[in-house]
């Protein structure tokens, strides 16, 4: 395997609060290969956004990275000074947020925002940057880009704004884009267009995408691999076909069982009784154990590592070597 583009090792994100320290992301590890789309799914509050924010150093205080490493092409970036991280943001790792309506500064022309970003990272002069901005807008499918570049965000529809946001994320040709629920705020018809666009951009610009969503349909259509998060941990990770079609972790199985169609979302997890624990009372051992139909003694005391289960890795004691032997 080639060297991973991004590598997360045992990442931990904490919030100091009056009632003690809350661990919102707890020992998360995964790799993203160059040009790969990694889907990250999980219920609301599972820690997906925090993982994304931690990678590019945008955790809002008092949230902080309390452990682990983030490596970009083998180099640690989590311990860089703020200025070092800033240089990576936008230049090597782009980010797209959920709501295109609020992601753009309402008082600046979209061209100004694009040119600012391009010039910042590439050192182009104003005319070159403007040409590039127009090319980017054409690339993301904004019609009449030469004219629209001087328009203000309010003059665009939601879908068009998300295209502009994508153009901004691509402005300096990053190697990775972290897209946090990029289609959740959009109309269903527009969602498909944006997803198709992201797939094409990913291919043509050879940019990897960490695609955070709770929409399994989006994942099924876009991702190469999927990581399923639960209570700040990864429950299962593997190729998209296997995680969707042959899940091994009981939580993933419940998740997949609860979506008869590809348009259903992981937000509504009806198959498994109970709900994800709050950060203040995550059970010891396997975080899923109070809801798990297969729970046994070990699950309540010892936290499971990611264990190989056919083509995926599942954080579940059912796949421990000794148990598999007997099963």
Partner 1 sequence: MIAHLLRSLLQGILVILAVGLIAFSMFRFVGDPIASLAGQESTDADRAELTERLGLNDPFPVQFGRFLAHAASGDFGISYRQARPVADLLAERLPATLELAVLSALFAFVVGIALGVYAAINRRGVIANGVMVLSLIGVSLPTFLIGIGLIYLFAVELRWLPSFGRGDVVHIGWWTTGLLTDTGRKSLVLPVLTLGFFQLTLIMRLVRAEMLETMRTDYVRFARARGIPERRIQFRHALRNTMVPVVTIVGLQLGSVIAFAIVTETVFQWPGLGALFVNAVQFVDIPVMAAYLMFVAFVFAAVNFLTDFVYLLIDPRLRH
Interface residues with ligand SF4 (CB under 6 A) are 249-250, 286, 288-289, 292, 294-295, 299, 304, 316-318
By CB under 8 A, which span of 27-35, 106-114, 280-288, 307-315 interacts with partner 1?
106-114
Go through 296-306 and write b for each residue having 16 or more CB atoms within 10 A of its CB, e for each that does not: eebbeeebbeb
User: Residue 213 or residue 252: which is nearer to Mg ion going by CB?
Assistant: 213
287: Cβ–Cβ under 8 A, 6 or more apart, which residues? 230, 231, 232, 233, 277, 303
Least Cα distance to 69 among 78, 80, 61 occurs for 78
Return the SS3 of 156. Answer: coil
Q: Label residues 240-279 b or e (16+ Cβ within 10 Å = b).
A: bebbbebbbbbbbbbbbebbeeeeebbeebeebeeebbeb
Question: Which of ligand ADP, ligand SF4, Mg ion, none does residue 292 bind to, with CB < 5 to 8 Å depending on kind?
Answer: ligand SF4
Which of ligand SF4, partner 1, Mg ion, none is residue 171 near (CB under 5 to 8 Å by kind)?
Answer: partner 1
The interface partner of residue 49, options being ligand SF4, Mg ion, partner 1, none and the CB cut-off 5 to 8 Å by kind, is Mg ion
Q: Residue 117: name its binding partner from partner 1, ligand SF4, Mg ion, none (Cβ under 5 to 8 Å by kind).
A: partner 1
Sheet strands side by side (includes 75-76): 20-32, 6-17, 64-72, 75-76
Please choose which of Mg ion, ligand SF4, partner 1, none residue 288 contacts, taking the beta carbon within 5 to 8 angstroms, the exact cut-off set by kind. ligand SF4
Minimal distance, residue 7 CB to partner 1, in Å: 20
Q: Residue 46 interacts with ligand ADP (CB under 6 A)? A: yes
Q: Which does 279 bind (CB under 5 to 8 A by kind): partner 1, ligand ADP, ligand SF4, none?
A: ligand ADP
Phi, psi of 234 (to 5 degrees): -85, 125
Nearer Cβ to ligand ADP, position 48 or 233? 48
The interface mask with partner 1, positions 248-267, x = CB under 8 A, is --------------------
Subset of 4-63 contacting partner 1 (CB under 8 A) = 56, 58
- Interatomic CA distance for residues 180 and 95, integer angstroms: 8
The encoded tokens of residue 112 equal 């100004």
Which range, of 46-54, 151-159, 201-209, 243-251, touches ligand ADP by CB under 6 A?
A: 46-54
Give ∠ CA 98-204-168 in degrees, rounded to 5.
40
Of the pair 6, 228, the CB lying nearest ligand ADP is at 228
One residue of 33, 67, 138, 152 binding partner 1 per CB under 8 A: 152
Q: Which residues does 97 contact at the CB level (< 8 Å), separation at least 6? A: 103, 165, 180, 181, 182
Closest approach of Mg ion to the CB of residue 184, in Å: 9
Partners of 239 in beta bridges: 225
| C-beta of 7 vs 51, nearer to ligand ADP | 51
Contact residues for ligand ADP, defined by CB under 6 A? 15, 22, 24, 42, 44-50, 63, 279
């Amino acid at each position: 395997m080639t060297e991973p583009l991004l590598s997360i090792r045992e990442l931990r994100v904490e919030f100091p609060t009056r009632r003690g320290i809350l661990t919102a992301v707890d020992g998360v590890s995964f790799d993203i290969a160059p040009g790969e789309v990694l889907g990250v799914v999980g219920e609301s509050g599972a820690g997906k956004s925090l993982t994304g924010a931690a990678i590019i150093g945008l955790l809002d205080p008092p949230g902080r990275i309390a452990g682990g490493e983030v490596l970009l092409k083998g180099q640690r970036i989590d311990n860089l000074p703020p200025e070092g991280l800033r240089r990576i943001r936008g230049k090597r790792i782009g980010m797209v947020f959920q709501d295109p309506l609020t992601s753009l500064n309402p008082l600046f022309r979209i061209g100004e925002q694009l040119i600012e970003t391009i010039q910042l990272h590439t050192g182009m002069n104003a005319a070159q940057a403007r040409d590039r901005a127009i090319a980017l807008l054409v690339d993301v499918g904004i019609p009449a880009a030469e004219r629209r570049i001087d328009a203000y965000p309010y003059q665009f529809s939601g879908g068009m704004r998300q295209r502009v946001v994508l153009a901004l994320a691509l402005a300096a040709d990053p190697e990775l884009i972290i897209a946090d629920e990029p289609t959740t705020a959009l109309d269903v018809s527009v969602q498909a267009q944006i997803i198709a666009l992201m797939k094409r951009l990913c291919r043509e610009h050879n940019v990897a995408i960490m695609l955070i969503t709770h929409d399994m349909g989006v994942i099924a259509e876009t991702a190469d691999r999927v990581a399923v998060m639960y209570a700040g941990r990864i429950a299962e990770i593997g190729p998209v076909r296997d995680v969707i079609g042959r899940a091994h972790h009981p939580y993933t199985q419940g998740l997949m069982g609860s979506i008869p169609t590809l348009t259903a979302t992981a937000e509504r997890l009806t198959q498994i009784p109970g709900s994800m624990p709050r950060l203040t009372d995550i059970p010891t051992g396997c975080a899923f154990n109070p809801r798990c139909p297969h729970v046994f003694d070990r699950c309540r005391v010892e936290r499971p590592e990611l264990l190989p289960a056919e083509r995926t890795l599942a954080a579940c004691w059912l796949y421990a070597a000794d148990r598999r032997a007997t099963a």
